[in-house]
Amino acid sequence: MQIQRTPEIKLLKKLLRDNPIVAILGPRQCGKTTLSRQFSSEWLSDVTTFDLESPRDIERLQDPLLALEGIGGLVIIDEIQRSPGLFPVLRVLSDRSVKTKYMILGSASRDLIKQSSESLAGRISYLEIGGFSLELVGAEKAEKLWIRGTFPRSFLALNEEASYQWRQDFIATFLERDVPQLGFNIPAKSLGRFWRMLAHYHGQIFNASEIGKSLEVSDHTAQRYLDLLSGTFMVRQLRPWFYNTKKRIVKRPKIYFRDSGILHALLSLEEKKDVLSHPKLGSSWEGFALEEAIKTVRLKEDEAFFWGVHSAAELDLVFEKKGKLYGVEVKYTQAPSLTSSMRAALTELSLKHLWVVYPGKEEYPLSRDVTVIPVTNLDKIKVS
């Protein structure tokens, strides 16, 4: 079974219309290759695909300029991070011909494949994707998406047992194969211990000293492990919103797992009943809803923030659009009410509007500037 990724296909059409090269970035197994195939099936001219995990295609690209310069239409190169030497070649080729478009797929963020931004400046646009979203699977499958996570094979598995096993295998493969292939010499067991401990920090401020002490590693090592997991789209470091104020604002990032299914697997939560009885239940759902909100508004990593001051007032998500600030608060409760933190955020940040996302079914206002919306109605987040 496949789910047509129509929203991303529309975005790709726009990006390829305006740029010679588009990079699709996201974690392994999130559906990048499937998306490229769905897109290429609608492409009106020739499509040529190279997979840099295929020995045959690696051999074909031993002399990349010779292999690529005669190809027209759309050229797709999968797992581009395995051959960073291709970036200068793509710069040359994209300058030579306006008739050929290039789509490159990578399992690491721009920070981990810096060659692309350095070599292809002014020629490339980026589309970051995760797995499935509520927009794709539909409101009736929201709980399943939260429990199993967004990775297609986990979500589409025959049952919860198969889904959980897939996620455990994914975690093992990521640690033992994917990280070394990206060029990081980090023991799988050490990174695995850090990753599992980090699951208990989900939704909290990251404290490198505290977690480093627990693992008997330095603060620097703990931060390096976190940056690696962020750069491979496993974890989101939500940065604090900085602004001119005399108040003592929080300056360290909040940590969220981008995929709730991976979070549950690292916490050894095999079934729905395990999740519902776990102490991290509320923060798990809140992280899931927050990630869906970020997807819905289509915020890039450097466009999403949280707000917090040491007097205990905070807001889960702050973002700027068209010169105005907006806020999102996530509450795992059936009847959200207007809190002192919300009032403080509205006043302190001069928010244009604040949406409160919850697991219920009704939409209702809390004030002129605050609206409660179900997680299944995130499209009600409108900016103007």
Query: How confident is the model over 136-164, as a mean pLDDT?
Result: 96
Could you tell me where in the chain the CATH 3.40.50.300 domains are found?
Answer: 6-128
- E strand segments, the chain: 21-25, 47-51, 73-78, 100-106, 124-128, 204-205, 235-240, 254-257, 305-308, 314-321, 324-330, 353-358, 364-367, 370-374
The Cα–Cα gap between 82 and 183 comes to 9
* Residue 189: Cβ within 10 Å count: 10
Query: How confident is the model over 174-192, as a mean pLDDT?
Result: 91
Q: Please give the residue that has the higher pLDDT: either 81 or 103.
A: 103
Sheet holding 314-321, edge to edge: 204-205, 254-257, 235-240, 305-308, 314-321, 324-330, 353-358, 370-374, 364-367
Hey, what are 67's tokens?
A: 């292999």
Q: Please give the residue that has the higher pLDDT: either 178 or 183.
A: 178
Which band of pLDDT confidence, cut at 50, 70 and 90, is reported for residue 110?
low
Residue entry with tokens 């190279």? 50
Query: How confident is the model over 42-68, as a mean pLDDT?
Result: 92
Which band of pLDDT confidence, cut at 50, 70 and 90, is reported for residue 63?
very high
Q: What per-residue confidence (pLDDT) applies to 43?
A: 87
* Residue 191: Cβ within 10 Å count: 19
Query: How confident is the model over 231-248, as a mean pLDDT?
Result: 86
Which band of pLDDT confidence, cut at 50, 70 and 90, is reported for residue 246?
low
Q: What per-residue confidence (pLDDT) applies to 155?
A: 97
pLDDT at residue 348 is higher than 80? yes
Which band of pLDDT confidence, cut at 50, 70 and 90, is reported for residue 108?
confident
Q: Please give the residue that has the higher pLDDT: either 43 or 112.
A: 43
Q: What per-residue confidence (pLDDT) applies to 3?
A: 87
**Number of helices followed by number of strands (H, E) in the chain:** 18, 14
Beta bridge partners of 227: none
Query: How confident is the model over 163-178, as a mean pLDDT?
Result: 96
Task: Give the Å distances, CA to CA, from 344 to 265, 313, 314, 373.
Answer: 36, 7, 8, 20
The Cα–Cα gap between 151 and 262 comes to 9
Percent of the chain's residues with pLDDT above 90: 79
Which band of pLDDT confidence, cut at 50, 70 and 90, is reported for residue 122?
confident
Q: What per-residue confidence (pLDDT) applies to 249?
A: 78
The second-level CATH assignment, the architecture, of 6-128 is 3-Layer(aba) Sandwich (3.40)
Ranking 44-48, 270-274, 304-308, 366-370 by mean pLDDT, the lowest is: 44-48
Q: What per-residue confidence (pLDDT) applies to 65?
A: 92
Per-residue model confidence as pLDDT tens digits over 248-257: 778 899 999 9
pLDDT at residue 340 is higher than 90? yes
The Cα–Cα gap between 187 and 208 comes to 19
Chain-wide mean pLDDT for the chain?
Answer: 92
Q: Is the pTM of this model over 0.85?
A: yes
Query: How confident is the model over 81-98, as a mean pLDDT?
Result: 88
Query: How confident is the model over 349-358, as a mean pLDDT?
Result: 96
Cβ neighbours for 384, distance < 8 A, ≥ 6 positions apart: 322
Q: What per-residue confidence (pLDDT) applies to 303?
A: 94
Q: What per-residue confidence (pLDDT) applies to 185?
A: 86
Q: What per-residue confidence (pLDDT) applies to 236?
A: 96
pLDDT at residue 44 is higher than 90? no
The Cα–Cα gap between 61 and 275 comes to 47
- Which one, of 254, 227, 255, lies nearest residue 109 by Cα? 227
